[in-house]
Structure 1
C-alpha cells in the first residue's frame, strides 16, 4: 500500500528509522564482505560460484583521475550526494510511497558503503567477477537495484495517474 493510506498507518519517524536502518545494514554487509575478501587477498584465492566469482582486487585508478578532480573534491561530492539522498528519503517517507522508500534504502546503503570504501584511501575494492561485466562490488549492486526500483516506481505512479 502506498500513498496517503500508508502515511496514516505508519508514522513518518518509524518509516525513516526503518529505511535508515536498512541502508545501514546494507552498507555494513558490503563493507563486511569487502573486509573479509581483503583479508583473503594475499592468498589470491578465487571462490568460484559458477556464473559469479569472488575475486578481490583493488581498483587503484581513482575515479578522480578519470574526471580530472582531486580525490578530496570527489569525496566531498560523494558525501554531498549521500546527504541529498538522505533528504530525498525524508521526502519519500512523508509522501508514504513504499517503493520509493525501498529504493531509497538500497541507494543510500550503496552510496554510503561506496563513500566509506573510498575514504580508506588504498583504492576502490572490487570483488565480484563474472567474465562478461566489469568487476563490481555489493554496494554497486545496491545502487543499480535502487535506481531501477525508483524508475519502476515512478513509472507505476505515472500510469496510475492516467
Structure 2
C-alpha cells in the first residue's frame, strides 16, 4: 500500500482476497463431501432418478469429457495440479483489483479445480454423479468451474469502457 492509497481501497483489496480464500475453501469442502457421499450412497449400481437429472456414480480418469483418459495417472494429476496452481495464483494476484463478481467467479473455478485434483489423488479418477443422459456425467466441482467461468465473463462484460472495473460505492 502506498501513501497515496486511500484506506477504503486498501480495505477492499484485503476484503477481496479474504473473500477469495473463504469461497475457495468453502466450495472445495462442499464438493469433496458431495463426492464422498456419492461414492457411499451410489455405489453398487444404486441411483436416484430426479427427472431431468439422475444421480448415478461414474468415474473419469481423464479430464473434461474424458479427454486424456489413456494417459498415465501421474501425468494427468501433474498437469491438472499445475493448471490449478496457475489459476489460483492468477486469482490471488488479480483479486485486489477485480470486481467482486469476478473474485467469486475465480474462486469457484479454483475450488472446482482443487476439488477435482484432490478427488483424483484418491484413486487417479474423478468421482462424477450428475447424469442427464444428453451430457457427459459430471460432479459438483465441474458445476463450480462452469458457473465461475460465467461469472468471470459477466464481470468482463460489466467492465467500464475505460477498462477499469467500477465498484459499488458501498
Aligned partners of 1:27 and 1:109 also within 8 Å: yes
1:58 alignment partner in structure 2: 59
Deviation at 1:79, TM superposition (A): 1.6
Following the alignment from structure 1 to structure 2, what is the Cα–Cα distance between the partners of residues 126 and 52? 13
1:123 alignment partner in structure 2: 125
Calculate the aligned-residue CA RMSD, in Å. Answer: 2.7
2:168 alignment partner in structure 1: none
1:1-162 equivalences in 2 (<5 Å): 8=9, 10-59=11-60, 61-63=61-63, 66=68, 69-157=71-159, 160-161=161-162
Deviation at 1:133, TM superposition (A): 0.9
Pick which of 24-33 and 134-143 moved more: 24-33
Pick which of 105-114 and 85-94 moved more: 85-94
Aligned partners of 1:37 and 1:127 also within 8 Å: yes
Please report the TM-score for the alignment, with normalisation by the length of structure 1: 0.82
Unmatched 5+ stretches in structure 2: 164-170
Following the alignment from structure 1 to structure 2, what is the Cα–Cα distance between the partners of residues 94 and 42? 43
Aligned partners of 1:92 and 1:100 also within 8 Å: no
Aligned partners of 2:38 and 2:129 also within 8 Å: yes
C-alpha spacing 1:32/1:146, structure 2 compared with 1 (3 Å) = same
Aligned partners of 1:41 and 1:57 also within 8 Å: no
C-alpha spacing 1:42/1:67, structure 2 compared with 1 (3 Å) = closer
Alignment deviations for residues 106-144 of structure 1 (CA, whole Å, 9 cap, x no partner): 101101001001111252211001111110101110001
Count of residue pairs the alignment pairs up: 157
Whose RCO is larger (CA < 8 A, sep 6+)?
A: 1
2:166 alignment partner in structure 1: none
C-alpha spacing 1:104/1:53, structure 2 compared with 1 (3 Å) = same
Higher helix share: 1
Please report the TM-score for the alignment, with normalisation by the length of structure 2: 0.79
